[in-house]
Amino acid sequence: MSDKPVILVTRKLPEAVEARLSRDYEPRLNPEDVLYSKDEIIERATGAQGILPCHTEHFTADVIERLPEEIKIIANFSVGFDHVDIGAAKKRGLVVTNTPDVLSNATAELTMMLMIGAARRASEGEKLVRTRSWKDWSPAFMVGVDVTGKRLGILGMGRVGQVTAKRARGFDMEIHYHDVRRLPPEMEEGAIFHETLEDMLPLCDFISIHCNATPETTGLMNAERFSLLPDGAIYVNAARGAIHDDDALIGALQSGKLWAAGIDAYNNEPNIDARFAELPNTFLMPHIGSATIETRDAMGFRALDNLDAYFKGDEPGDRVA
């Protein structure tokens, strides 16, 4: 009988990650990549010492309370950890980790795609080509707005926000940002700090969301704050859907307050508000900010590094609880 720790893996992971898991642990894999219910997670965790989940699994206080006593660590395959009740995990003594740093480039790339796709009406254009509805060309056909030289407001100037700012500078964008604290001057690289979100919003031709979902940021972008943006601004969210209020965002898109929105993160994924898909001025992606081969491998290895540290008796480098 193997003395390797048993790890419940809730989703299909990259081949290289599963190979390392199988070498060092006794993994319970999910080759069909089905989404487990809360009851199935609890049942499958019996006899395991750790769980390697994604953001698709929600570890509420009730789920954490019902987990088998043998479970000692939840090593997330994600940088966000809002799907885990951190207070309940700490109360139970569960170690919780995430995978920061490794997905900043991929998410920033996706953010730029959302920004450009929304500004240049990419969803409408692709639909015209795919449905053979493209008839001819005229000066008034498929006119969008420039990205180059515009003002970009970044809400949350952490790792992804900073890389996004760096990429946006390639388009000669003027960078503004709001966060709970100001970056050191050498890290700002000319970005303009605003102590309040309300001060920044009137200066944003584009607003890009890069903050975590917390009780303080949930619903932060509401009707009142959307109204502070310049008319014709573009909203981009590749972080967490909880940051915006759906009704407020959809209302701003319908009214023309917003020119468009590029969205990769939603409330109630994947059962998102159907109105987003019905609007012509939305450029929509299915939460794929980190979906590159290189990044997904790196995320898996980072999660395994945290497991390795824990089972060796060391402090995991990415511990959040």
* Domain regions of the chain by residue span: 6-102+293-311, 104-284
Q: Encode pLDDT of 117-147 as tens digits.
A: 999 999 999 999 999 999 999 999 999 999 9
**One fold for both 6-102+293-311 and 104-284?**
yes
57 among known catalytic residues? no
Q: Which residues pair with 174 in a beta bridge?
A: 151
Neighbouring residues of 184: CB distance < 8 A, sequence distance ≥ 6: none
Q: Which residues pair with 236 in a beta bridge?
A: 208, 262
Identify which of 143, 138, 100, 102 has the alpha carbon closest to the alpha carbon of residue 119: 143
Q: Among 120, 121, 151, 240, which one carries the catalytic annotation?
A: 240
CA angle centred on 167, ends 161 and 173, rounded to 5° = 95
| Encoded tokens for 6 | 């048993």
Q: Encode pLDDT of 159-190 as tens digits.
A: 999 999 999 999 999 999 999 999 999 999 99
Q: Average pLDDT of the chain? A: 97
Q: Supply the angle between the helices 122-130 and 104-119 in degrees, to the nearest 10.
A: 70
Calpha distance 170→167 (Å, rounded): 6
269 among known catalytic residues? yes
Q: Encode pLDDT of 265-303 as tens digits.
A: 999 999 999 999 999 999 999 999 999 999 999 999 999
- Residue 149 burial (CB count, 10 A): 10
Q: Among 210, 287, 296, 302, which one carries the catalytic annotation?
A: 287
| Encoded tokens for 181 | 């604290």
240 among known catalytic residues? yes
Q: Are strands 258-263 and 233-237 parallel, antiparallel or unpaired?
A: parallel
Q: Among 40, 65, 195, 269, which one carries the catalytic annotation?
A: 269
What is the CATH number that goes with domain 6-102+293-311? 3.40.50.720
Superfamily, domain 104-284:
NAD(P)-binding Rossmann-like Domain (3.40.50.720)
